[in-house]
Structure 1
Amino acid sequence: MYSSRATQAYEQVSLQSKLSGATSHQLITMLFDGAHNALTRARIYMENNKVAERGEMISKAINIIDNGLRAGLNHEQGKGISEDLERLYAYMSRTLLQANLQNDATLVTHVDELLMNIATAWKEIE
């Protein structure tokens, strides 16, 4: 059986391989998938009263939203739509902070649904 350290190393190499060959469109898709995964895990941790893990996953999702999706917006090309997304991503981050403080899974689900709607539209563009 492999150790968790070996599994983590494999996952890191696998991720690096995916990143190195990905288009910018695929990279954004990976960010959506990463945020969705973090929010799914956050809800599971909420159900199991694992406060530290919940906070870690919510922080991870906020980081992906703020430093990945939001930072990647092109305001010159996107004009109005990028401004709308900017406001929506800011709303999502604030809502996730509230969800963590209030231990509110419905807020996490709400943000996840918003993200998945945008992700679906993004995937259809390709």
Structure 2
Amino acid sequence: MFGSSRSGANAYAKVGLETGVIAASPHKLIVMLFEGALTAINNGMTHMKAGQFEDKGRAITKAILIVDEGMRASLDKKAGGEIAVNLDALYGYIIQCLLRANLRNDQAQLEEAHKLLSDLKSAWDAIGDKVGPGAQAAAAPRPMAAFDSLTPRASSFVSA
């Protein structure tokens, strides 16, 4: 009648996440994307080692979506100039690493993607305290449609 306690906990967690997103600064939103992608890659590594290939695929797909539809899509190449163009290329490379890792069960490709994202997150964290309100507004991600990683969507990625 009322659902399981697990669904209640999931609803509570979702509300907490949505509240965190609404209250977050543009800088914090990017940090949250980094954290989500890194967590998904870690989950993919764990599932790959355990031979849980369906779960591995879901975790890596989640990481790809975060990098592509979250981080990469939020780049403003006009305002960001060469830095944004270079980040776009790097995000593209990370997505390719994740695709190869998923298709070939290649742990090294997952580790490569994780290291690159970790390094970027460290740099992003380092500038966090130095970014003022005006600079944060300029660096703000463009608004995008609601993102639900569990909703199936058309993709240009090849599935194996």
After TM superposition, where is structure 1 displaced by more than 4 Å over at least 4 residues in a row? Answer: none
In 2: Cα distance, 1:84 partner to 1:24 partner: 20
Match of 1:39 in 2: 41
Whether 1:111 aligns to 2:124 is no
Deviations 1:19-50 (A, max 9, x none): 11001110000000000000000000001100
Q: Where do 1:43-82 residues align within 5 Å?
A: 43-82=45-84
Distance 2:52 2:13 in 1: 24
Counterpart position of 2:8: 6
Aligned: 1:96 with 2:98? yes
Q: Which amino acid aligns with 2:48?
A: M
Percentage identity across aligned positions? Answer: 36
> What are the ranges of 5 or more consecutive residues in structure 2 without an aligned counterpart?
129-160
Structure 1 stretches lacking a partner, 5+ long: none
- Structure showing greater radius of gyration is 2
Deviation for aligned residue 1:3: 2.5
**SS, match of residue 74 in structure 2:** coil
More helix by share: 1
1:17 aligns with 2:19: yes
* SS at 1:99 equivalent: helix
TM-score (norm 2): 0.76
